[in-house]
Structure 1
């Protein structure tokens, strides 16, 4: 289904070469490629690329970047990198980059759920989530430009997971959501939309004591780390769980999917 993908950034940055996914071994080459992929089809200035390669760019930065671009063209990307006035642009269709394919699946899946196509939407969201192989841009330099795209992808991943879980709960398959949500909670422990789905799935699966303990864990984390109480929806879910109101727990979980968008 994803045979057109040539570059991965949802995990370590990789390029497809002769049917094999290859790491970008050169740190400078990886920095240049990551920066261009984070802003594909847009001009990226030499100055922005230099920020990803050096803390204090040398006077010869433009020349050194040009050499890296030539090497990337020769070894990996061909003429996908275009030289532009003041910088470079990586020209790629959305089907060539895993993050763009992921984003398309999430938006399509959410759209299907909004039309009550629960199985179809859930399946598409599941395909989207399977594209991840670790934190986005995992081995790329953490410059403001790359971090902004990484954070956007992470939020979209959490949103996709919330909607995917909602599709399972709506069709009575809440147990299937638990393993994936457990892993995502480890990565995004303060994301209340994910936590709500996790608590609801646990409760509906009969793990009621664990579901309420998860609420207390979230509340303690929110207060200690960002000085905030859980949002109203999370508190309402907790009240429904301790009141043993299965119908209300299910309703809140499904509304939580909508509210998280």
Structure 2
């Protein structure tokens, strides 16, 4: 069985989804999968499901949810019995744990590829960075746990994963810009920088891709949109590195065709 959390929650076996139908049971399974192979206490489960205000019957209700999840999973060909499902959804000492190998959970596969890509970054191997990060990004089918409203424990984890994905995209773009793939990135960078109008790094990467594609005016327009948005929303100017990139585009600095001026990867730290 393959579990998927990088998008709508799914429990797929031979092309069929064996998720439980009840929302609370799906929510509980999501919590366990985002903590795969680790025990999740019953207290944490109840806090997540009832947001710190569990009913008097919370514990027996939680136990019923666990039973229903096991029954759903047991219907799959790869398990085939409630006994087998108990080996996957394990009861511990006031805790529950989903036991699943890395290859059976998209999040575990993503985490492994993220590590592999970071090793390639340290080695300065941009082609491997691009290849590995693109494979990792292809695992995503939308927002994490789309369709499930996260409680207090899941909320922080979901936000963290979305930030990790965005950071991976930025690092992937940077490697691909060094590889001269600016034409191929135009559509993707344009869409993402519009979706994240306060993200200076994405705007800078979009500006560079536009300039290298012979679209200097559009690159300058992207800078002015960023300046207006930052001024209106936060009352600040673009950081020094973005301003330096803007100035380099204005004068047609020849280094723009071969270098990432100002170290675009460092734009997360604002300059004075």
TM-score, normalised with respect to structure 2? 0.83
Match of 1:122 in 2: 130
- Root-mean-square deviation (Å): 2.5
- Unpaired runs of at least 5, structure 2: 75-84
1:90 to 77, 90, 98: 98
Task: Kindly state the Cα deviation for residue 144 of structure 1 after the two structures are TM-superposed.
Answer: 2.5
Mark the CA change 1:187 to 1:10 in structure 2 (over 3 Å): closer, same or farther: farther
**Cα distance in 2 for residues equivalent to 1:212 and 1:22:** 51
The answer as to 2:36 corresponding to 1:71 is no
Mark the CA change 1:34 to 1:223 in structure 2 (over 3 Å): closer, same or farther: farther
Does the CA-based 8 Å contact 2:24-2:49 persist in structure 1? Answer: yes
Mark the CA change 1:226 to 1:47 in structure 2 (over 3 Å): closer, same or farther: farther
Mark the CA change 1:21 to 1:229 in structure 2 (over 3 Å): closer, same or farther: farther
Match of 2:188 in 1: 180
Task: Kindly state the Cα deviation for residue 21 of structure 1 after the two structures are TM-superposed.
Answer: 4.6
**Cα distance in 2 for residues equivalent to 1:172 and 1:193:** 18
Match of 1:230 in 2: 238
Mark the CA change 1:164 to 1:82 in structure 2 (over 3 Å): closer, same or farther: same
**Cα distance in 1 for residues equivalent to 2:262 and 2:103:** 31
Match of 2:157 in 1: 149
**Cα distance in 2 for residues equivalent to 1:187 and 1:137:** 20
**Cα distance in 2 for residues equivalent to 1:138 and 1:90:** 20
Mark the CA change 1:204 to 1:15 in structure 2 (over 3 Å): closer, same or farther: same
Greater C-alpha radius of gyration:
2
Does the CA-based 8 Å contact 1:14-1:24 persist in structure 2? Answer: no
Task: Kindly state the Cα deviation for residue 260 of structure 1 after the two structures are TM-superposed.
Answer: 5.2
Match of 2:167 in 1: 159
Q: Report the secondary structure of 2:259's partner residue.
A: helix
TM-score, normalised with respect to structure 1? 0.86
Does the CA-based 8 Å contact 1:161-1:181 persist in structure 2? Answer: no
Mark the CA change 1:260 to 1:246 in structure 2 (over 3 Å): closer, same or farther: farther
Match of 2:216 in 1: 208
Mark the CA change 1:236 to 1:75 in structure 2 (over 3 Å): closer, same or farther: same
Q: Which runs of 4+ in 1 moved over 6 A?
A: none
Total equivalences in the alignment: 257
1:33 to 29, 34, 43: 29
- Unpaired runs of at least 5, structure 1: none
**Cα distance in 2 for residues equivalent to 1:116 and 1:171:** 12
